[in-house]
């Protein structure tokens, strides 16, 4: 089935018209009769003990309806079952400036805010830990003590193969240190949630969330209600990028306030508060050592990461593993050791931001390999080509690689950019750089252990012929609505606009685990195709009888159903549905997707496996001004293996958006603190690229048609961010000779590198040491040498 009518065609999205007319209803657009407004009292100190809390003056204020403190919501929660360390409102301790302590519901926002100011709060300030080094080395009462020692949230040590003897076989080794500064998602939409107590004894929550199912679970736990007394509806998300993937304190608080007051309650974060909600990129300190033979073949790699996790666990255990898991999905590394440590600090919690834990090591490795190859006397590109992973192989850490267009991506991006004619040959101040990457099309395990599908879709046809599609997936701008509508329409011979979507409502829609880990196209897309195929087969059976032809000759095209051998005949879709309903009763179908079992035989092997990996290669051309220190990106070329491009308009949009976000991270964006306070919690001071900063981007799509993907598709929303960062760093080195082992590459850092060069020192900017922390025993795992790759295609025709 390669003669598609919808798939592969550039077109707008089904939710486009609602979004360009202002009719898309975001969470803060909801206004319910009698609605109250809530505000949070937040901690003014980074680390402290609550000594006294008196809400009586706030409660007495006219217009205040309810006040909550931690005593009302004592149950802890967190996105991962292993890290249940958050409180909706702090009970004993506060762990960052902005940690919520009390909540007020009042007749309007002004009154609610005024009431929070009337709450008497007495705090005993504790020593604060603002960096990785302070968390590991500073004396004093720790933020938290788990089994890994004070302030250490997670420590992991894994070794695949005999790394020591593999290093012994190397002709050359090199070590480098890197630091990747934290950054935040900065979604244009401030988080908002509305809750309503229903007369039948249920609470409904509307929220701007990427993960309504996980919010549903957390609400049940903290509110002490069974899940069937809670309904979660995800509103269209006005930008997520990972930042709306956790259950949040404000969601729990509005639900509780709705229960307590019996009235609808809304809570919308201010922009400053969005910086406190955070869950952004972990600041990460890294050390990497690689051994190579004279011919350039890698023999071993040892990678260490230290993640600055902020005040709570969030996805941090997973983030820690991700800083080590995907190194092997781009290059053949026969022996590999990874040690990761995540610490608690007194800052807003870090979590998953686009690329989740993988942009940091990708930056480190792609810059490290430039130095390593040149020391070896090899062209850095040739060095990479020598070591690229091959399709349909296993990595040393048991990751199954299926379709892989990495080599084609590298070749195409080099050719389009003229890289080989430019590298080292452009005038002083101008340069080109290269980087490549891989990313997952969905995690193969859910956030909590269960044996059920990850995505389910139901279809139902009514007497108008309208196909209603029910899915738990939520569109966060990535185009999940369009993927669901387009895949279904393709199978049924309809247009995407013919599919009516009902999404992300726990009372109405079947499960989708959420819009995270680039999983929706692959998983919900596969579920939609299965549901559509089953619906098509029901109608084909009834139509076969009517047309008196075999079932497999019934074709669905252009809104008509006909004998494939007599395409001019046949009936309209509506008539075919009537025939089928008359023969079989109500027309409905279901589809489900569950990833194959892909985990390796070791603890921790659940992070990294994915049913398919996307691949990207990037070239950036820059101009760096050694006088002002300003780096400008002149052009970006990026090639991306998307499996199959379901809709080039949307795929280009995702790739361009990823490049944009990568450029922000490498040159501008930083979530930084001073004396425990966020230094720049505003959109003006947190510098993100504007229309005037964006260079042209040339996007090249590579289609490898993945054997398990929906119509062969893989992800495109996160992977293309990764190679941009090292490509720019490498381009700056080509331009002015300065080496950046630390991002963002700000003008101050460029000038500091220039000063070093002028003093005759190596113009290297980056960390110089690792903290003094040693992990426990290493878990040794034999690589799956010679294991045959098994495939589990879901649909015969794709």
Partner 1 sequence: MAKRGLGKGRVKGESQDIWLRLMVNGRRCDVVAPVQKTLLEVLREDLGLTGTKHGCELGECGTCGILVNDLFVLSCLTLPVDIQGKEVTTVEGLAHNGKLHPLQQAFSELGAAQCGYCTPGFLMAAKALLDTDPSPTREAIQDGLSGNLCRCTGYLKIFEAVELAADRMGAERRKAATAPQVAP
User: Looking at 21-29, 460-468, 703-711, 758-766, which segment touches partner 1 (CB under 8 A)?
Assistant: 21-29
Give every CB contact of residue 118 below 8 A, 6+ residues apart in sequence: 57, 58, 61
Pick one of 48, 100, 238, 355: the residue that binds partner 1 (CB under 8 A). Answer: 238
User: Looking at 133-141, 266-274, 314-322, 394-402, which segment touches partner 1 (CB under 8 A)?
Assistant: 266-274
32 binds partner 1 (CB under 8 A): no
426 binds partner 1 (CB under 8 A): no
Place of tokens 């302590």: 101
Contact 308, 791 (CB under 8 A): no
798 binds partner 1 (CB under 8 A): no
Q: How far is CA 548 from CA 534, 539, 540, 664, in A?
A: 20, 14, 11, 61
189 binds partner 1 (CB under 8 A): yes
| H or E segment and range at residue 124 | strand 120-125
495 binds partner 1 (CB under 8 A): no
User: Looking at 23-31, 278-286, 439-447, 551-559, which segment touches partner 1 (CB under 8 A)?
Assistant: 23-31
Give every CB contact of residue 123 below 8 A, 6+ residues apart in sequence: 43, 44, 45, 48, 49, 50, 51, 94
- Least CB distance from residue 650 to partner 1, whole Å? 6
User: Looking at 22-30, 90-98, 136-144, 326-334, which segment touches partner 1 (CB under 8 A)?
Assistant: 22-30
Give every CB contact of residue 169 below 8 A, 6+ residues apart in sequence: 291, 293, 299, 300
Backbone angles phi, psi at 187, to 5 degrees: -65, 145
Place of tokens 């027309």: 587
Pick one of 44, 239, 465, 747: the residue that binds partner 1 (CB under 8 A). Answer: 239
Pick one of 571, 649, 751, 756: the residue that binds partner 1 (CB under 8 A). Answer: 649
Pick one of 660, 673, 711, 773: the residue that binds partner 1 (CB under 8 A). Answer: 660
Q: How far is CA 68 from CA 54, 103, 105, 253, 798, in A?
A: 11, 5, 9, 8, 54
- Least CB distance from residue 243 to partner 1, whole Å? 10
Pick one of 6, 7, 28, 641: the residue that binds partner 1 (CB under 8 A). Answer: 28
CA–CA separation, 350 and 64 (whole Å): 33
Of 788, 777, 433, the closest CA to residue 622 belongs to 433
476 binds partner 1 (CB under 8 A): yes
CA–CA separation, 190 and 211 (whole Å): 16
Name which of 478 and 704 has its Cβ closer to partner 1. Answer: 478
392 binds partner 1 (CB under 8 A): no
Of 276, 320, 354, the closest CA to residue 132 belongs to 320
Pick one of 54, 75, 110, 415: the residue that binds partner 1 (CB under 8 A). Answer: 110
12 binds partner 1 (CB under 8 A): yes
276 binds partner 1 (CB under 8 A): no
Q: How far apart are the first and last CA of the chain?
A: 7
DSSP of 597-662 = ----SSTTTTSS--S-EEEEEEEEEEEE-TTT--EEEEEEEEEEE-SS-S-HHHHHHHHHHHHHHH
CA–CA separation, 191 and 185 (whole Å): 12
Give every CB contact of residue 774 below 8 A, 6+ residues apart in sequence: none
Evaluated on CA atoms 155, 160, 161, 164, the torsion sign reads negative
Pick one of 142, 359, 472, 477: the residue that binds partner 1 (CB under 8 A). Answer: 477
Contact 84, 78 (CB under 8 A): yes
Name which of 411 and 495 has its Cβ closer to partner 1. Answer: 495
Pick one of 271, 425, 603, 787: the residue that binds partner 1 (CB under 8 A). Answer: 271
Name which of 478 and 610 has its Cβ closer to partner 1. Answer: 478
Contact 286, 307 (CB under 8 A): no
Pick one of 161, 182, 187, 726: the residue that binds partner 1 (CB under 8 A). Answer: 187
Of 328, 433, 438, 407, the closest CA to residue 726 belongs to 433
Of 307, 355, 324, the closest CA to residue 153 belongs to 307
Pick one of 3, 31, 92, 760: the residue that binds partner 1 (CB under 8 A). Answer: 31
52 binds partner 1 (CB under 8 A): no
- Least CB distance from residue 530 to partner 1, whole Å? 27
Pick one of 588, 656, 752, 756: the residue that binds partner 1 (CB under 8 A). Answer: 656
Q: Give the bridge partners for 203, in sequence order.
A: 197, 230
- Least CB distance from residue 152 to partner 1, whole Å? 33
Rounded to whole angstroms, the maximal C-alpha distance in the chain is 88
Pick one of 694, 705, 770, 775: the residue that binds partner 1 (CB under 8 A). Answer: 694
Pick one of 188, 451, 675, 785: the residue that binds partner 1 (CB under 8 A). Answer: 188
CA angle 298, 303, 308 (to 5 degrees): 155
Pick one of 5, 8, 9, 16: the residue that binds partner 1 (CB under 8 A). Answer: 16
691 binds partner 1 (CB under 8 A): yes
User: Looking at 238-246, 546-554, 575-583, 771-779, which segment touches partner 1 (CB under 8 A)?
Assistant: 238-246
- Return the residues of window 669-688 that contact partner 1 according to CB under 8 A: 682-684, 688
33 binds partner 1 (CB under 8 A): no
CA–CA separation, 629 and 20 (whole Å): 39
User: Looking at 14-22, 126-134, 552-560, 637-645, which segment touches partner 1 (CB under 8 A)?
Assistant: 14-22
User: Looking at 179-187, 320-328, 434-442, 608-616, which segment touches partner 1 (CB under 8 A)?
Assistant: 179-187
Contact 706, 642 (CB under 8 A): no
Name which of 674 and 692 has its Cβ closer to partner 1. Answer: 692
Name which of 168 and 683 has its Cβ closer to partner 1. Answer: 683
Interface with partner 1: number of residues (CB under 8 A): 70
Question: Which residues of this protein are in contact with partner 1, per CB under 8 A?
Answer: 11-13, 15-26, 28-29, 31, 62-63, 109-111, 113-114, 117, 185-190, 192, 236-241, 268-273, 475-479, 649-650, 652-653, 656-661, 682-684, 688, 690-692, 694, 696-697
């Amino acid at each position: 089935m390669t003669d598609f009518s919808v798939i592969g065609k550039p077109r707008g999205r089904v939710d486009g018209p609602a979004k360009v007319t202002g009719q898309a209803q975001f969470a803060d657009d909801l206004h319910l009769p009698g609605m109250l407004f809530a505000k949070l009292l937040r901690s003014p100190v980074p680390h402290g003990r609550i000594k006294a809390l008196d809400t009586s003056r706030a409660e007495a204020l006219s217009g205040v309806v309810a006040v909550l403190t931690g005593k009302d919501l004592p149950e802890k929660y967190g996105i991962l079952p292993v890290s249940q360390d958050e409180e909706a409102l702090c009970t004993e301790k506060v762990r960052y400036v902005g940690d919520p302590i009390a909540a007020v519901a009042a007749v309007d926002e002004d009154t609610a805010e005024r009431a929070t100011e009337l709450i008497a709060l007495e705090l005993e300030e504790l020593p604060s830990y603002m960096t990785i080094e302070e968390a590991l080395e500073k004396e004093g009462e720790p933020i938290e003590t788990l089994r890994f020692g004070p302030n250490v949230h997670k420590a992991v040590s894994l070794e695949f193969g005999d790394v020591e003897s593999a290093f012994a076989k190397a002709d050359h080794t090199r070590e480098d240190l890197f630091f990747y500064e934290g950054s935040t998602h900065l979604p244009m939409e401030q988080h908002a949630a509305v809750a309503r107590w229903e007369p039948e004894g249920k609470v409904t929550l509307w929220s701007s969330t990427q993960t309504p199912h996980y919010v549903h679970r957390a609400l049940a736990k903290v509110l002490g209600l069974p899940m069937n007394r809670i309904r979660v509806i995800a509103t269209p998300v006005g930008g997520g990028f990972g930042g709306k993937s956790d259950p949040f304190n404000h969601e729990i608080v509005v639900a509780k306030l709705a229960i307590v007051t019996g009235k609808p309650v809304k809570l919308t974060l201010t922009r400053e508060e969005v910086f406190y909600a955070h869950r952004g990129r972990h600041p990460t300190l890294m050390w990497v050592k690689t051994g190579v033979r004279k011919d350039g073949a890698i023999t071993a790699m040892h990678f260490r990461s230290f993640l600055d996790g902020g005040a709570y666990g969030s996805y941090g255990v997973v983030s820690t593993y991700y800083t080590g898991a995907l190194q092997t999905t781009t290059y053949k590394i026969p022996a590999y050791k990874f040690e990761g440590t995540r610490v608690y600090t007194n800052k807003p919690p870090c979590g998953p931001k686009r690329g989740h834990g993988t942009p940091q090591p990708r930056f480190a490795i792609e810059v490290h390999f430039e130095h390593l190859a040149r020391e070896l006397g090899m062209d850095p590109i040739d060095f990479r080509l020598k070591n690229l992973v091959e399709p349909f192989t296993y990595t040393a850490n048991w990751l199954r690689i299926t379709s892989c267009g990495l080599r084609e991506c590298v070749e195409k991006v080099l050719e389009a950019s003229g890289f080989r004619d430019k590298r080292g040959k452009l005038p002083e101040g101008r340069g080109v750089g290269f980087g490549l990457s891989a990313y997952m099309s969905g995690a193969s395990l859910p956030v909590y252990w269960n044996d059920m599908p990850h995505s389910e879709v139901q279809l139902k046809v009514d007497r108008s012929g309208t196909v209603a599609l029910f899915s738990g997936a939520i569109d966060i701008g990535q185009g999940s609505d369009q993927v669901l509508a387009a895949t279904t329409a393709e199978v049924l011979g309809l247009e995407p606009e013919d599919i009516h979507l009902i999404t992300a409502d726990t009372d109405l829609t079947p499960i989708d685990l959420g819009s995270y880990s680039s999983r929706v196209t692959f998983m919900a897309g596969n579920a939609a195709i299965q549901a559509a195929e089953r619906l098509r087969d029901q109608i084909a059976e009834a139509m076969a009888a009517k047309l008196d032809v075999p079932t497999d000759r019934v074709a669905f095209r252009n809104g008509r159903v006909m004998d494939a051998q007599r395409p001019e005949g046949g009936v309209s879709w509506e008539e075919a549905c009537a025939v089928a309903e008359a023969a079989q009763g109500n027309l409905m179908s279901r589809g489900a997707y569950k990833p194959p079992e892909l985990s390796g035989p070791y603890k921790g092997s659940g992070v990294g496996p994915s049913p398919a990996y996307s691949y990207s290669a990037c070239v950036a051309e820059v101009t760096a001004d050694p006088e002002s220190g300003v780096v400008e990106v002149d052009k970006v070329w990026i090639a991306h293996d998307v499996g199959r491009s379901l809709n080039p308009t949307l795929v280009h949009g995702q790739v361009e958006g990823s490049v944009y976000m990568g450029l922000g991270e490498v040159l501008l964006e930083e979530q930084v603190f001073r004396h425990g306070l966020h230094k720049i919690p505003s959109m003006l001071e947190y510098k993100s690229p504007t229309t005037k900063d964006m260079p042209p981007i040339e996007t090249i799509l590579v289609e490898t048609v993945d054997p398990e993907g929906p119509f062969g598709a893989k992800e495109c929303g996160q992977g293309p961010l990764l190679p941009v960062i090292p490509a720019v760093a490498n381009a700056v080195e080509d331009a002015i000779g300065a080496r950046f082992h630390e991002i963002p590459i700000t003008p101050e850092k460029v000038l500091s590198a220039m000063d070093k060069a002028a003093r005759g020192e190596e113009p290297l900017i980056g960390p110089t040491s690792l903290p003094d922390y040693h992990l426990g025993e290493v878990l040794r795992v034999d690589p799956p040498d010679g294991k045959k790759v098994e495939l589990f295609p879901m649909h015969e025709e794709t």
